[in-house]
């Protein structure tokens, strides 16, 4: 088996490209099902956020799982595969493991140390298990559990997450750069999911006036608004209040534009105050032309990186400690993962030895008249002990070999020396994936 990650993120593509790769709930499920139909793919998890869309795979090394992941992503983006390839990165085996652990720990985020990513990684893993159960087996289950453990350790053992370590908190800091103090500023949040709820909390903590909160489900908006003494508003009526707002944050899960420039222009026409819009959704909620409206200042998630660089210095000082934690967690997972490579070989080896022992001893016993069943069983037991003792040292050696450098190549040599071919191992490999 081989571990892969294929993806696109804020380092390889701007937001107008990333939003084309973004996979919503139903799209993610369809993509997972498509991946599981690809030859050699045994397990798959898809992580899709405002800053990245990534496919994690456990697949047969004889196939091209990286190509399978790239095909799914390029199909979603609507781009020619060659064009999409220019934005994608591919990592395999230990490099792929390290990548996921760094992602879950906030070390690969646009806002260093952001808190949301751990929950997003957990959601991707859990959603895959629930919606396409066959997509998450023993390997990816262990991989994602250890990645989440690494993320938790980084947040509890280091100060990486202190300060503005989330996209919503970064958005609030940006607003503070525009206005200075946000005390008493009139605000609205469009979208009441996890990101919206955190944004509302960040705005309230900054001292803004009770924020308007809207969502496609009024009850959801009311729950989020009530948490901070905000004001819920029906989704089809939030336009009526835009001329009362100074800061508008959008963070819906819509597949396309929610606020078009023409309607926004009409909605704010009577306002005497400028409007700062922080569009932290991917795909973007606000039409780009909205930036051309007088007294409207539009920022998106890519703008956050530029304005937050100066606030990251303290968190960057924590990176060596965080990287040490991640390296330790990766090492523990990798030892477990590599030792499993030896298991199918060991089982096939021992199965072959037992098959030979049984065949030879039963042929011999057939020729030995006059033995009772008790004597026969003693002979069988003695030969099993001899075989197990002979196999003990090679078994230990194969396990140790798997965790050493070049372990896969060494196991391949051992397989040939033991006279086992790929067909001998396939049944045991399948059993290991299913357990």
69 contacts: CB under 8 Å, gap ≥ 6: 4, 5, 6, 7, 35, 55, 57, 90
| CB environment 79-101: b (16+ within 10 A), e (fewer) | beeeebeebbebbbbeebbbbbb
pLDDT at 24: 80
pLDDT at 409: 64
pLDDT at 356: 86
Checking if the pLDDT of 150 tops 70, the result is yes
**Which pLDDT band holds residue 428 (cuts at 50, 70, 90)?**
low
Beta pairing, strands 41-48 & 52-59: antiparallel
The count of C-alpha atoms lying within 13 angstroms of the C-alpha of 434, restricted to the half-sphere facing its C-beta, is 6
Lookup: tokens for 298: 């539009």
341 contacts: CB under 8 Å, gap ≥ 6: 1, 402, 407, 408, 411
Q: How far apart are CA 254 and CA 99, in angstroms?
A: 28
**Which pLDDT band holds residue 32 (cuts at 50, 70, 90)?**
very high
Beta pairing, strands 275-279 & 212-215: unpaired
State percent of the chain over pLDDT 70. Answer: 88
Q: Which of 129-143, 254-268, 271-285, 338-352 has the lowest mean pLDDT?
A: 338-352
Among candidate residues 3, 50, 55, 171, the one labeled active-site is 50
For residue 276, report the phi and psi dihedrals to the nearest 5 degrees: -100, 125
pLDDT at 144: 96
Q: How far apart are CA 115 and CA 269, in angstroms?
A: 37
How many whole angstroms from its chain centre is CA 231? 34
pLDDT at 256: 86
Residues 163-220: tens digit of each pLDDT: 555 788 888 888 888 888 899 999 999 999 888 888 998 898 889 998 999 999 999 9
Q: Which of 138-147, 198-207, 403-412 has the lowest mean pLDDT?
A: 403-412
Considering Cα of 244, then 278, then 262, then 25, what sign does the dihedral take?
negative
pLDDT at 157: 93
- Does 50 qualify as catalytic in the annotation? yes
Q: What is the pTM of this model?
A: 0.69
All structural domains of the chain, each given as residue ranges with its CATH number in brackets, are 2-163 (3.30.460.30), 167-309 (3.40.50.720)
pLDDT at 116: 80
pLDDT at 146: 96
**268 within 8 A of 238, measured Cβ to Cβ:** no
193 burial (CB, 10 Å; 0-12 / 13-18 / 19+) is middle
pLDDT at 411: 64
Closest CA to 121 of 109, 133, 131, 111: 109
Question: Residue 306: how many CB atoms within 10 A of its CB?
Answer: 10
């Amino acid at each position: 088996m081989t571990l892969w990650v294929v993806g696109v993120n804020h380092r390889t593509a701007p937001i107008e490209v990333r939003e084309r790769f973004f996979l919503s709930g139903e799209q993610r499920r369809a993509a997972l099902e498509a991946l599981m139909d690809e030859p050699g793919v045994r397990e798959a998890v898809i992580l899709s956020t405002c800053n990245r869309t990534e496919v994690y795979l456990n697949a047969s090394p004889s196939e091209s799982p990286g190509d399978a992941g790239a095909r799914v992503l390029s199909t979603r983006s609507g781009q020619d595969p060659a064009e999409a390839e220019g934005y994608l990165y591919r990592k395999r085996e230990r490099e792929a493991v390290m990548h996921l652990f760094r992602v879950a720990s906030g070390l690969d985020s646009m806002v260093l140390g952001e808190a949301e990513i751990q929950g997003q990684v957990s959601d991707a893993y859990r959603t895959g298990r629930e919606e396409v159960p066959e997509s998450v087996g023993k390997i990816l289950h262990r991989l994602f559990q250890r990645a989440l453990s690494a993320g938790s350790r980084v947040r509890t053992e280091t100060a990486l997450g202190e300060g503005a370590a989330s996209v919503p908190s970064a958005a609030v800091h940006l607003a503070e750069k525009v206005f200075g103090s946000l005390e008493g500023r009139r605000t609205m949040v469009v979208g009441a999911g996890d990101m919206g709820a955190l944004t509302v909390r960040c705005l309230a903590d900054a001292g803004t006036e009770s924020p308007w909160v809207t969502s496609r489900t009024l009850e959801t908006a009311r729950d989020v608004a009530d948490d901070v003494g905000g004001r819920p508003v029906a989704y089809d009526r939030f336009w009526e209040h835009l001329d009362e707002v100074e800061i508008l944050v959008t963070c819906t899960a819509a597949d396309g534009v929610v606020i078009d420039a023409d309607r926004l222009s009409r909605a704010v026409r009577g306002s005497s105050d400028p409007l700062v819009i922080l569009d932290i959704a991917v795909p973007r909620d606000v039409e780009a032309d909205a930036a051309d409206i007088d007294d409207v200042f539009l920022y998106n998630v890519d703008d956050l990186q530029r304005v937050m660089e100066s606030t990251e210095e303290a968190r960057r000082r924590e990176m060596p400690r965080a990287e040490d934690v991640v390296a330790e967690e990766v090492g523990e997972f990798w030892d477990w993962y590599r030792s499993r490579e030896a298991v199918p070989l060991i089982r096939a080896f021992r199965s072959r030895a037992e098959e030979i022992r049984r065949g030879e001893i039963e042929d011999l016993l057939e020729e030995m008249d006059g033995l009772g069943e008790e004597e026969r069983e003693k002979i069988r037991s003695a030969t099993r002990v001899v075989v197990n003792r002979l196999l003990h040292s090679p078994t230990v050696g194969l396990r140790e070999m798997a965790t050493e450098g070049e372990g896969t190549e060494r196991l391949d040599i051992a397989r040939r020396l033991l006279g086992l071919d790929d067909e001998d191992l396939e049944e045991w490999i399948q059993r290991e994936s299913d357990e």
